[in-house]
Chains A and B, each alone.
Chain A
Amino acid sequence: MSRILAVLKKEFLQMKRDRLTLGMIFMLPLVQLLLFGFAIQTEVKHIPTVVFDQSLTWSSRDMLDAFSASGYFDVTCAAKSYEEVTEMIDSGKVKAGIIFPPDFEEKIKRGDTAPLQVLVDASDSMVSSSAIATANSIGLLKSQKIIAQKANIQNMPYDIRVRPWYNPDGITAYYMVPAILGIIVTMTMVMMTSMAIVRERERGTLEQLIVTPVRPFELMIGKIIPYIALGYLQITVALLVGAIIFKVPVRGSLLELYLLTLFFITASLGLGILISNIAKNQMQAFQMSFFVLLPSILLSGFMFPREAMPVIIQYIGNLIPLTYYLTIIRGIVLKGIGFGYLLPQVTSLLIFSVLLLALSIAKFKKKIA
């Protein structure tokens, strides 16, 4: 115990003197949240759109208004030929093109099907899926109206009422801010601790350390604890930014959030310290943390819904602590649920922490070679 305290004290002293790193730890959640919180919008609106209206009639204008009114399409310019539309999409000036045929109005009046072409730049799948879905539903709604008028129907046969729970207004920040918090904590925790052992190895201080009676677990625990404190500091900063700037409400218990976060922090630290034990130098440690962090961002459900991933990838995602933490933090912050619902996630994180730490301790040999 006294040796753990000795390591702890030394780590705190060194941390205190490393002003740059300390500043980074504090600024990271602040800056990242501000940047990403505003930048990341999963719902794509205001897609720049070109229109090529060969009909130039009331019907085509009415339809175009419906597109503009949806908020998804911003008609920014008009083209005079099909080639011009193609050229504008190719060059990236616009992401969508709406083309009305010359006989658009005649066909509607005759009761024929009036075709309307919507070209979408699908090289960006987020943009295209929004555009396609909106275009389709506009078409359906407009058609419904005309059919209802013709058949003189007062009530539609079905009325589906969707209630989006937890985030009725679909505010992206509510969803993203807690997730970004998770990303920031993993990133800092893994990166920082991945340096912890290997830095001493590289500087040669490990050689002096391992001739002392210090035991591997004392060294690991002593090195990890200061980072737990830093992790909490980051989370506090991030939650404050989330609450003050993005007005993200914490619906569940803050105490519970802090408590369960501990398991996530220790799992991330365990991962970092394991990397630090495996890596031969700081450069390797850095590369390895990167290798871990990228899947964390992509496969945890932070960016893309896990439900959409192939089963095998979902299994891989199960090996990432962040996956569990996202469920926990979104659960507590947005849904206001408690520990009872999150038991499986907490258990997983606990297993991760213990396993990773045990592996690190086993891997740490008091030897030079």
Chain B
Amino acid sequence: MITTEGLTKSFGAVTAVEEISIKVARGEIYGLVGPDGAGKTTLIRMICGIMTPTRGRVAIGHGEQQRKNTIFGYMPQKFSLYGDLTVMENIEFFGSLYKLDGKTIRRRADEILEITGLIDFKGRFADNLSGGMKQKLALTCALISQPEMLLLDEPTFGVDPESRKEFWRILYRLNDGGMTVIVSTPYMDEAELCHRIAFMDRGKVVAVDTPVNLKNHFPYKILEIKAGHEDLDFLNSLEEVVEAGFYGDKYHVVVEDPESARRAIAGAMAEKGFNIEQINEIPPSMEDIFVSLTEKEVA
């Protein structure tokens, strides 16, 4: 449904997005996953046409560039509706920009507000909505033109966990109805909710696959070490360790061969006089996969 070819955007000397070629199929939830500054927002802005690429191109639908305004609904990262207008006034404004008549807008708004749970807040000023409700209103406005596709730029940024779950429930419901969704997120738990994800790091896509495949094809094993509050960064220097990183109150160590690595780690820890409270092999999390992918990129 969307194809980008060698999409590149430079701001002066800084290249925010470099040679990105992705294909998004109709009906999938496609996640752009990566930390801040990975180029997610720039990529989404180029896809929806409000930013001119330095190089490369975006193809939407079946070459229906002209209709691109009505094909997708876009939700920018920053809340960009009018705070001094009410929920309904915002919806009516955006609806009428798509030349919908008042009756159609009200009918559709009722449908969408029912799904997003804002039906009782029609008369409230957008400024007085909570963060989660603001996002739902933005989603409602993006949906009013009945687009075939949604482009969501970090829609759950700064939203509480409960509202995040709720937001994803809505996305799944829309997707069930055939909606294609491109969503960017820095959260790994949300990455797992996508049908397919593109891991982004420093302007590049480092991997594209389904979450399951990414896990299955992960070439390394993960050892989780608990050792008080010691700084275990020195493990990175061990030959048997691909990558060691801090993970809550534990350390996650990416290794090729768990057995030899266990021996090497035990030796190194004993040398430093650190006590290993626990060491277990665990299945890789999304974050482990992402970290090891981006580390490989540097090497």
Q: Which residues of chain A have a CB within 8 Å of any CB of chain B?
A: 2-3, 5-7, 9-10, 13-14, 17-18, 203-214, 366-369
Do B93 and A14 touch (CB < 8 A)?
A: no
Could you say which residues of chain A place their CB within 8 Å of the CB of B79?
Answer: 204
Do B50 and A367 touch (CB < 8 A)?
A: yes
Do B50 and A10 touch (CB < 8 A)?
A: no
Do A368 and B84 touch (CB < 8 A)?
A: no
Do A6 and B96 touch (CB < 8 A)?
A: yes
- 6 new A-B contacts, CB < 8 A, other than A205-B81, A212-B69, A369-B51, are A3-B99, A10-B85, A17-B84, A205-B82, A212-B98, A369-B11
Do A5 and B50 touch (CB < 8 A)?
A: no
- The 7 lowest CB-CB distance pairs between A and B, nearest first, are A6-B96, A208-B80, A212-B97, A204-B80, A213-B69, A204-B78, A211-B74
User: Is B48 an interface position by the 8 A CB rule?
Assistant: yes
Closest to B96 in A: A6
Could you say which residues of chain A place their CB within 8 Å of the CB of B82?
Answer: 10, 14, 205
Interchain CA distance A335-B50 in the complex, whole Å? 53
Q: A13-B89, A211-B48 are in contact. Are A203 and B97 (CB under 8 A)?
A: no
Interchain CA distance A205-B48 in the complex, whole Å? 16
Do B78 and A207 touch (CB < 8 A)?
A: yes
Interchain CA distance A214-B98 in the complex, whole Å? 8
Q: From residue A196, how far is it (CB to closest CB) to chain B in Å?
A: 13
Closest to A219 in B: B97
Could you say which residues of chain A place their CB within 8 Å of the CB of B69?
Answer: 211-213
Interchain CA distance A17-B48 in the complex, whole Å? 32
Do B74 and A2 touch (CB < 8 A)?
A: no
Could you say which residues of chain B place their CB within 8 Å of the CB of A17?
Answer: 84
Do A18 and B84 touch (CB < 8 A)?
A: yes
List 6 A–B pairs whose Cβ atoms lie within 8 Å, in order of A's numbering: A10-B85, A203-B80, A204-B78, A209-B80, A366-B49, A369-B51
User: Is B94 an interface position by the 8 A CB rule?
Assistant: yes
Do B80 and A205 touch (CB < 8 A)?
A: yes
Do A214 and B97 touch (CB < 8 A)?
A: yes
Could you say which residues of chain A place their CB within 8 Å of the CB of B76?
Answer: 204, 207-208
Could you say which residues of chain A place their CB within 8 Å of the CB of B94?
Answer: 208, 212
User: Is B141 an interface position by the 8 A CB rule?
Assistant: yes
User: Is B45 an interface position by the 8 A CB rule?
Assistant: yes
User: Is B275 an interface position by the 8 A CB rule?
Assistant: no
Could you say which residues of chain B place their CB within 8 Å of the CB of A7?
Answer: 97
Do B48 and A10 touch (CB < 8 A)?
A: no
Do B50 and A366 touch (CB < 8 A)?
A: yes
- A208 in complex: contacting residue of B49, B74, B84, CB < 8 Å: B74
Do A368 and B96 touch (CB < 8 A)?
A: no
Closest to B74 in A: A211
Could you say which residues of chain A place their CB within 8 Å of the CB of B104?
Answer: none
Interchain CA distance A213-B95 in the complex, whole Å? 11
Could you say which residues of chain A place their CB within 8 Å of the CB of B278?
Answer: none
User: Is B65 an interface position by the 8 A CB rule?
Assistant: no
Interchain CA distance A203-B138 in the complex, whole Å? 15
User: Is B52 an interface position by the 8 A CB rule?
Assistant: yes
Interchain CA distance A214-B48 in the complex, whole Å? 15
Q: From residue B81, how far is it (CB to closest CB) to chain A in Å?
A: 6
Q: A10-B85, A13-B85 are in contact. Are A210 and B50 (CB under 8 A)?
A: yes
